[in-house]
Amino acid sequence: MNLPFILDVALGLIFIYLIFSLLASEIQELIATILQWRAQHLRKSIEILLAGDALDSEDSKVIQLANKIYTNPLVKGINQEAKGFLPTLPRKATWLISAMFNSLRKPTSRLKKETIFGDNKHSAPSYIPAETFATTLVDTLQLTMVVQKLTEIRLEKFKDEKLAEVKNILLSLEEKVENNEVSNEIIKDIVDTFEQLNSEYNQIVADYKNSKTDVQISLNRMGDSFDKYIDHFQYHVENNQEFLEKTWRNLKFFRKGIFDNIEQTIAVNGLKPNIHEIVQSIQQGSAVYAEMKAALQDQDSETYQKIQELIDSLPAPVVTSIATMAKRVQMTANTAEEGIQIFRREIEKSFDSSMERAGGVYKRNAKGVAILIGVTLAVSANADTFHMISRLSKDTILRAAIINKVVQVSSENPNQSGLVNIDTNRILEDITLPIGWNNNNLQEQLGANQSLGTIGKIYRILAMITGWLITGLAIAMGASFWFDILSKVMNVRNVGKQVKGVKD
């Protein structure tokens, strides 16, 4: 037994493994497409990411949050589906098969009317980009709306507090009124201009609530209105009302402390909430949540109900995760907008990391399915590795035919990208491989032409079963693996021929 002979037998066996691996990969891809394994695995992975672990992934809140993500237009747009009766007919057939298969699985806590993809959906994307998921989750959490409402509450509170402080300054004139040191006309004018200031401040807050201005512009407008109020007050001081000068100076001092440094005023009064405060607003028990609840419950019941519904719908692990993430983000973010952007990127990183782990799980599961398919193919085709080696080593014509086909396939497909071009059906038609449940194969495998005792027959059967298992495991290695091995063995064989030719 020389090396060329061994290489030819090895090439024949590897080639058979390659053919069966190609068939197995086609079968596995077909099953994965019909049952939507990738889409289902992605959905389950997202639920686990939201829940924090697999045990809590069947919680109704987790499922409902995942449903909201999947109904977002950004995610729905990824799942392209055919339109019309005839184009959708094949897809509906696969939905039916998938639904029948899913009905056989162990029931979970998922809502009875829920499909695996939620909201009675029969299909979903098998891949979601990290940036799409992050944007969708931020939209679902309605953080932008929370920022707006929290700022509105604090701006309203700021307005009321500052007007109250101005009113307290004006109360110093009460003694002058009682002593008749101030005319009723002056007092009436001061009261009227204060009411006008109050009205202007209310309008400024209303404009912000209607998204006509931002916080910076709102405070600048408040400062301008207060400047006009002080200028009007100064008119009375200049008209021989010296006793008003103290009040006027107090108003100017008040104005300087508030409006000379707008950025400082915004920061001190929390008029631009940071990302940590934003997340705290949807975290029950936090100070910011209590602040929003107290304000909205009295002022805006519809908004309160909307935010309360959002809070009640969020799973506890999600709130905990985003709160932890927000603390990290707050260290590098200067504004709420910047915080949300960094927060979104943190979600992307978390999603990528989770999908990387999920990809590993999917590959392990796919390998298990590949082994089952491989063993099934080996048994159904009676592809016994030991028998194939025996036939290849004994049958010169068979070995030569397979080697010729190997050379042809290798020359036509020099790299792995050509695997899709290999016509397995044609190869099986052109060559009679040492497989199948025909009498000749069975007689050789079971030793029907030999005088075997009971132990010998049992040994033959066990060898046959072992041969199937080896073939099944070999098929599960994949077509790419065997194509690579085939190319390397062919290179060794060709080098051997060249060396032999030089010696001759």
Within this chain, do residues 497 and 381 fall inside the same structural domain, yes or no?
yes
Question: Across the 504 residues of the chain, what is the mean pLDDT of every consecutive 10-residue run?
Answer: 80 92 92 85 90 82 88 83 49 54 52 55 82 91 85 92 91 66 74 92 94 93 93 74 78 92 91 84 82 73 76 83 81 77 89 91 92 95 93 88 85 70 74 86 78 80 94 94 89 65 49
Domain residues for the domain of 48 are 26-139+351-359
Residue ending a domain, among 359, 389, 416, is 359
Within this chain, do residues 355 and 437 fall inside the same structural domain, yes or no?
no
Could you give the number of structural domains in the chain?
Answer: 2
| Contact between residue 187 and residue 220 where contact means Cβ atoms under 8 Å apart | no
Within this chain, do residues 355 and 429 fall inside the same structural domain, yes or no?
no
Within this chain, do residues 355 and 372 fall inside the same structural domain, yes or no?
no
Residue 240 falls within a domain, yes or no? no
| Contact between residue 400 and residue 4 where contact means Cβ atoms under 8 Å apart | no
Within this chain, do residues 419 and 444 fall inside the same structural domain, yes or no?
yes
Within this chain, do residues 355 and 440 fall inside the same structural domain, yes or no?
no
Tokens matching residue 178 = 């009682």
Within this chain, do residues 384 and 355 fall inside the same structural domain, yes or no?
no
Within this chain, do residues 355 and 419 fall inside the same structural domain, yes or no?
no
What's the pLDDT at 113?
45
* CA-atom Rg of the chain in angstroms: 39
Q: Supply the DSSP string of 30-84, one letter for each residue.
A: HHHHHHTHHHHHHHHHHHHHHHSSSTTTT-HHHHHHHHHHHHSHHHHTTS----S
Residue ending a domain, among 291, 326, 359, is 359
Contacts of residue 100, defined as CB under 8 A and 6 or more positions apart, other chains included, come to none
Residue 76 falls within a domain, yes or no? yes
What's the pLDDT at 86?
44
Q: Supply the DSSP string of 366-407, one letter for each residue.
A: HHHHHHHHHHHHHHHTT--HHHHHHHHHH-HHHHHHHHHHHH
Size (the chain), residues: 504
Residue 383 falls within a domain, yes or no? yes
Within this chain, do residues 355 and 369 fall inside the same structural domain, yes or no?
no
Within this chain, do residues 390 and 494 fall inside the same structural domain, yes or no?
yes
Place of tokens 């000749």: 440
Residue ending a domain, among 325, 359, 393, is 359
pTM of the model: 0.74
Residue 177 falls within a domain, yes or no? no
Within this chain, do residues 103 and 124 fall inside the same structural domain, yes or no?
yes
Report the chain's terminal Cα–Cα distance, integer Å: 20
What's the pLDDT at 502?
45
Residue 63 falls within a domain, yes or no? yes
Residue 181 falls within a domain, yes or no? no
Cα 275 from Cα 310, distance rounded (Å): 17
Residue 235 falls within a domain, yes or no? no
Residue 467 falls within a domain, yes or no? yes
Within this chain, do residues 433 and 370 fall inside the same structural domain, yes or no?
yes
Using CB atoms within 10 Å of the CB of residue 136, give its burial: 0 to 12 exposed, 13 to 18 middle, 19+ buried: buried
What's the pLDDT at 176?
62
